[in-house]
Amino acid sequence: MLAPAAEALGVRFSVLAETADAPATQVISEVTVGDYTDFATLKAFAETVDVVTFDHEHVPPEHLQALAEAGHAIRPGPQALIFAQDKILMRAKMDDLGLPNPAWATITSVADAEAFAERVGLPFILKTPRGGYDGKGVRVIEDLAEVSDWLEEMPQLLAEEKVDFTRELAVMVGRSPMGQTAVWPVVETWQQNGVCKEAIAPAPGLPADKATAITEAILKVAGALDVTGVMAMEMFETPEGFLINEFAMRPHNTGHWTQDGAVTSQFEQHLRAVLDLPLGSPAAREEVSVMVNVLGADHEDLYQPYFHVMAHDPAIKVHLYGKSVRPGRKVGHVNAYGYDRDSVLARARHAADFIAGVDVDPYPDIPAPTHLAADDEKETL
């Protein structure tokens, strides 16, 4: 999804892909197939470009450090990226910066887990510090017996209190090497079994002072870590405020709505930021934008249902990734936007479910958009 943005910006773009049939190879002509954990492969690739960036966090930090020391422009730099790679280092950094963390502890023994359970009670959350995504690497611990088998596989785990959140939120910023920043509106997100399913922009009913505190927090992190590119901050909203969950330093699922709903998409902004170009406006184009993921279900061939959705709702935007369908796998997303949240949400949910093959009415009853009665009502949205 970075490729169309690169093309529009007139930027030569090449990819180091894991396999010859990785989705990126379908849309990028300059492809090197190689292992991103192998230093020689990374080094040879870095020699061919001016700037190196990422679409996941799993490149070994020590390799990135060595490339940066050899003079390659790695953006975001390893000194920042490490806090999106390692959740224990991230928790400690948030404490240093005085930003709101849930209660947490590093767990290296069953005794540590017992002490943590005494502090916060059961159940609590246990995470692998590195390598997790889509809820893989996150467990709810109901019984301390579940800790020991995991400790055998991994020397260090991160324990967190199980936050009783009212909802999950996310926010994204773009930041360039010259230090320019642009923050998109805060969104409400919904994770199903640890997998992002929906994002609503802006987060419905979020009080302005909370949105400001969240914006200030992400700007503080971006500045303190000298982040370049786009960064997402996931949060838990609580009645008192918010707690930080984690960071991603790349275009992120909770920012997909910006492709159709914001003046500048996260993909364009990421390239502008890593290339040290002036940033684009992060303003929303519409009152409400909704992104719903298409998670693999019954349809293996997504074309026929896609065809129907396009005909049924010409204003919906469907983005498919060219991945083979597996149950629960993210294979695409849809964006809908407009001025009436209930209607936009219903349209986006229906389109995503219908494409995936969830058993839904092909011709659903979508609530008609309610027209805004007066200008003062518009201001409260």
Residues making contact with ligand ADP (CB under 6 A): 102, 125, 127, 132-135, 137-138, 160, 162-163, 168, 191, 194, 234, 245-246
Cα torsion angle, 296, 299, 302, 306, sign: negative
50 and 57 in contact (C-beta within 8 Å)?
Answer: no
- CB of 80 vs ligand ADP, minimal distance in Å: 17
By a kind-dependent CB cut-off of 5 to 8 A, residue 194 interacts, out of ligand ADP, Mg ion, none, with ligand ADP
Tell me if residue 181 falls in helix, strand or coil. strand
Closest CA to 273 of 326, 224, 228, 324: 228
Tell me if residue 345 falls in helix, strand or coil. helix
- CB of 10 vs Mg ion, minimal distance in Å: 34
By a kind-dependent CB cut-off of 5 to 8 A, residue 223 interacts, out of Mg ion, ligand ADP, none, with none
* Strand ranges inside 193-316, DSSP E: 195-201, 229-237, 242-248, 288-295
Separation of alpha carbons 64 and 76, rounded Å? 10
Q: Which is nearer to ligand ADP, 138 or 183 (CB)?
A: 138
By a kind-dependent CB cut-off of 5 to 8 A, residue 100 interacts, out of Mg ion, ligand ADP, none, with none
Q: Which is nearer to ligand ADP, 28 or 195 (CB)?
A: 195
- CB of 245 vs Mg ion, minimal distance in Å: 6
Overall residue count recorded for the chain in this entry: 381
By a kind-dependent CB cut-off of 5 to 8 A, residue 125 interacts, out of ligand ADP, Mg ion, none, with ligand ADP
Could you give the count of Cα atoms lying within 13 Å of 365 in the half-sphere of its Cβ? 0
By a kind-dependent CB cut-off of 5 to 8 A, residue 102 interacts, out of ligand ADP, Mg ion, none, with ligand ADP
- CB of 189 vs Mg ion, minimal distance in Å: 9
By a kind-dependent CB cut-off of 5 to 8 A, residue 170 interacts, out of ligand ADP, Mg ion, none, with none
Q: Which is nearer to ligand ADP, 234 or 260 (CB)?
A: 234
Q: How far apart are the first and last CA of the chain?
A: 30
Query: Partners of 160 in the beta sheet?
Result: 104, 125
* Strand ranges inside 86-123, DSSP E: 104-107
Separation of alpha carbons 116 and 158, rounded Å? 11
Adjacency order of strands within the sheet including 124-127: 104-107, 157-161, 124-127, 138-141
By a kind-dependent CB cut-off of 5 to 8 A, residue 256 interacts, out of ligand ADP, Mg ion, none, with none
Q: H helices then E strands: how many in the chain? A: 13, 17
- CB of 249 vs ligand ADP, minimal distance in Å: 13
Q: Which is nearer to ligand ADP, 161 or 353 (CB)?
A: 161
- CB of 199 vs ligand ADP, minimal distance in Å: 12
Q: Which is nearer to Mg ion, 258 or 343 (CB)?
A: 258
- CB of 162 vs ligand ADP, minimal distance in Å: 5
Lookup result for tokens 């930003």: 99
Tell me if residue 320 falls in helix, strand or coil. strand
- CB of 55 vs Mg ion, minimal distance in Å: 16
- CB of 37 vs ligand ADP, minimal distance in Å: 19
Q: Tell me the residue type at 162.
A: K
DSSP secondary structure letter of residue 111: H
By a kind-dependent CB cut-off of 5 to 8 A, residue 132 interacts, out of Mg ion, ligand ADP, none, with ligand ADP
Q: Which is nearer to ligand ADP, 198 or 268 (CB)?
A: 198
Separation of alpha carbons 107 and 189, rounded Å? 29
List residues binding Mg ion (CB under 5 A): 234
Neighbours of 248 (CB within 10 A): 21
* Strand ranges inside 7-78, DSSP E: 14-17, 30-33, 51-52, 73-74
By a kind-dependent CB cut-off of 5 to 8 A, residue 130 interacts, out of ligand ADP, Mg ion, none, with none
Q: Which is nearer to ligand ADP, 97 or 125 (CB)?
A: 125
